[in-house]
Amino acid sequence: MSEAFEIVKTGIDFFCNHLVFFNMLFAIVIVFFQRRDPKSVWAWLLLLYFIPVLGFVFYLLLGQDMHKRKMFRIKEVEDHISKDIRQQEYRLRSRDVQELDENIRGYEDLVMYNLEAGEAMLTKDNDVDIFIDGNEKFRALMEDLRNAEHFIHIQYYIIKNDVLFNQIKDILIEKAAQGVEVRVLFDAMGCRSVRHSYWKWLNEKGVQTAEFFPAILRRLQLRINYRNHRKIVVVDNKVAYVGGFNVGKEYIDLDEKFGHWRDTHLRICGSAVLGLQVRFILDWNYAAGENLFLRPELFRGIEAGTRDFCDLQIISSGPDKTTQQIHDNYLRLINKAQKSIYIQTPYFIPDEAILNALMIAVKSGIEVNIMIPCMPDHPFVYWATYSYLGDMVMAGANCYTYNNGFLHSKGMIVDDRVLCYGTANMDIRSFALNFEVNAVIYDEKKAWEMVEIFHRDLEVCRQITRDYYTGRNLKIRIKEQVCRLLSPLL
């Protein structure tokens, strides 16, 4: 026993004696070998210098910029999908009248960018239902799951083994027993509260499961910085879901801490379903080590919508991409705005480009409205959010806190014509580090529907005026400044 103690003590002494060397080594890596934002570089250097022990640990957990090509070996979509994309690009470049309908007129450059940067097909035959209440969303989802005949693909960042997933789980097991292929993809960090034995039990019941970025040990996760934040469900290629709701009792208003959970989720029928199916399969192939692109039947059965006929693109971002597509979409939409911008986000930590674009919009006479929660679920992130919101308040934007529970909705509406909603928050983490997916909808009716929802939300909001913001106490000011300093790391 004493010998083991001496070995541990020797190891600790060695670590402490060489801590400065390790921190210098990491500093060299950060400055010279990784392409980072200068603010992020300075934040890490200050942390390593002033808090060496914690800085070292935080860098191991949060700071690694793993090489993208080595880390993510994702197979390209089948050749015929790429061929369709090239054909659509050609029609857009030649201003084909069939492509340039009224819905996308004025946004051709954004459509083209999404095609070029993310192979996001523009589809024109989509029905879109908007859910802002978790109970309604999950009732519709479970009904679609019960109607599945061929396959069910489910992907969530958070799945909790509680009353909500118990209902979903029973349906999945029943459908698997009927011969339906059921796959559940979950993030290791988001689902860390669920024991591995539970997923193994589901596998035994016929439900295939895969874990995205599993921890090396149960509580040791060295890839905490890269999380799969996507929430996708695809059923038989007939219907798909994407949005902000995860799976847990808080999302159906059963958690006293948060009360009412206000989120936004989309139910899509039409050709855009294929974009979400491809996105799920790319992630599944990586996590499960399979190649479902060898199963062509998984890409059939797409049915056109019959009601809304929305123009829609599915866009995604993540460490596997060389461009920050969702970030660039938001930036382009802000820059193209002529009348109004509506933003809802639980975390508002924009980079300099987004922040400057919003401020320029305000000073150009464009109505900019931003809504955040009134309560934190992550205190550091919340106070950083409040600090950046203060910048927008002082610039003249209309800024609000949602006071009827917790606001988790993530999206933007521009000029009552285009909306971009999905899983991505308006923060640096969603733009650069997390795996995210959003739907860009070019449709005035759906945009108006979301604007009306925003205005209904205003009835339970508090406006943050300049007088209110400048009157905050010293304690809040200190919280904001400290958290803002750390915002590149959050």
3-state SS, 165-193, equals HHHHHHHHHHHHHCCCEEEEEEECCCCCC
Residue 119 is predicted with a pLDDT of 83
Q: Is 410 a catalytic residue?
A: yes
Domain hosting 358: range is 325-489
Q: Are residues 388 and 479 in the same domain?
A: yes
DSSP state of 102: T
- Residue 176: inside a domain, yes or no? yes
Residue 80 is predicted with a pLDDT of 45
Q: Are residues 282 and 380 in the same domain?
A: no
Catalytic residue among 236, 308, 328, 351: 236
Catalytic residue among 415, 427, 443, 457: 415
Q: Are residues 356 and 245 in the same domain?
A: no
Contact 229, 431 (CB under 8 A): no
pLDDT range class, residue 31, cuts 50, 70, 90: very low
Q: What is the pLDDT of residues 356-368, one digit of tens each?
A: 999 999 999 999 9
For residues 430-434, give the mean pLDDT: 90
Mean of per-residue pLDDT scores for the chain: 85
For residues 391-409, give the mean pLDDT: 98
Catalytic residue among 153, 169, 265, 408: 408
CATH (domain of 440): 3.30.870.10
Tell me: pLDDT of 109 over 80: yes
Tell me: pLDDT of 139 over 90: yes
> In this structure, is the dihedral angle defined by the CA atoms of residues 85, 91, 97 and 103, taken in order, positive or negative?
positive
Residues in the chain: 490
Q: What is the pLDDT of residues 235-262, one digit of tens each?
A: 999 999 999 999 999 999 999 999 999 9
Tell me: pLDDT of 1 over 90: no
Residue 347 is predicted with a pLDDT of 96
Residue 455 is predicted with a pLDDT of 99
Residue 37 is predicted with a pLDDT of 58
Catalytic residue among 124, 160, 175, 231: 231
- Residue 334: inside a domain, yes or no? yes
- Residue 219: inside a domain, yes or no? yes
Tell me: pLDDT of 35 over 70: no
Q: What is the pLDDT of residues 40-78, one digit of tens each?
A: 555 555 655 555 555 555 555 555 554 444 444 443 444
Residue 321 is predicted with a pLDDT of 80
For residues 83-98, give the mean pLDDT: 57
Lowest mean pLDDT among 296-305, 346-355, 438-447: 296-305
Tell me: pLDDT of 19 over 70: no
Q: Are residues 403 and 472 in the same domain?
A: yes
Tell me: pLDDT of 6 over 80: no
For residues 374-394, give the mean pLDDT: 92
Catalytic residue among 124, 153, 410, 446: 410
Q: Is 150 a catalytic residue?
A: no
Domain boundary residue, one of 312, 333, 348: 312
Number of domains composing the chain: 3
Q: Are residues 261 and 370 in the same domain?
A: no
Tell me: pLDDT of 290 over 80: yes
- Residue 317: inside a domain, yes or no? no
Taking phi over 0 as left and psi of -120 to 50 as alpha, with beta for the rest, 208 belongs to beta
Residue 15 is predicted with a pLDDT of 47
pLDDT range class, residue 32, cuts 50, 70, 90: very low
Tell me: pLDDT of 39 over 80: no
Catalytic residue among 124, 153, 160, 229: 229
Q: Are residues 353 and 288 in the same domain?
A: no
For residues 192-216, give the mean pLDDT: 93
Q: Are residues 266 and 408 in the same domain?
A: no
pLDDT range class, residue 4, cuts 50, 70, 90: low
Q: Are residues 331 and 461 in the same domain?
A: yes
Lowest mean pLDDT among 185-199, 216-230, 466-480: 216-230
Q: 79-93 and 108-118 are packed helices; what angle lies between their axes, rounded to 10 degrees? A: 150
> In this structure, is the dihedral angle defined by the CA atoms of residues 451, 416, 136 and 134, taken in order, positive or negative?
negative
Q: Is 408 a catalytic residue?
A: yes
Tell me: pLDDT of 95 over 70: no
Domain boundary residue, one of 281, 312, 343: 312
Tell me how far apart the alpha carbons of residues 300 and 297 are, in angstroms, rounded to a whole number: 5
Tell me: pLDDT of 351 over 90: yes
Q: Are residues 288 and 329 in the same domain?
A: no
- Residue 217: inside a domain, yes or no? yes
Residue 214 is predicted with a pLDDT of 84
pLDDT range class, residue 116, cuts 50, 70, 90: confident
For residues 147-175, give the mean pLDDT: 98
- Residue 320: inside a domain, yes or no? no
Q: Is 415 a catalytic residue?
A: yes
pLDDT range class, residue 158, cuts 50, 70, 90: very high
- Residue 319: inside a domain, yes or no? no
Scan for tokens 């640096």, then name that residue.
428
- Residue 434: inside a domain, yes or no? yes
Q: Are residues 298 and 373 in the same domain?
A: no
Q: Are residues 258 and 396 in the same domain?
A: no
What DSSP string runs through 401-424?
A: EE-SSEE---EEEETTTEEEEES-
Q: Are residues 60 and 75 in the same domain?
A: no
Residue 57 is predicted with a pLDDT of 54
pLDDT range class, residue 86, cuts 50, 70, 90: low
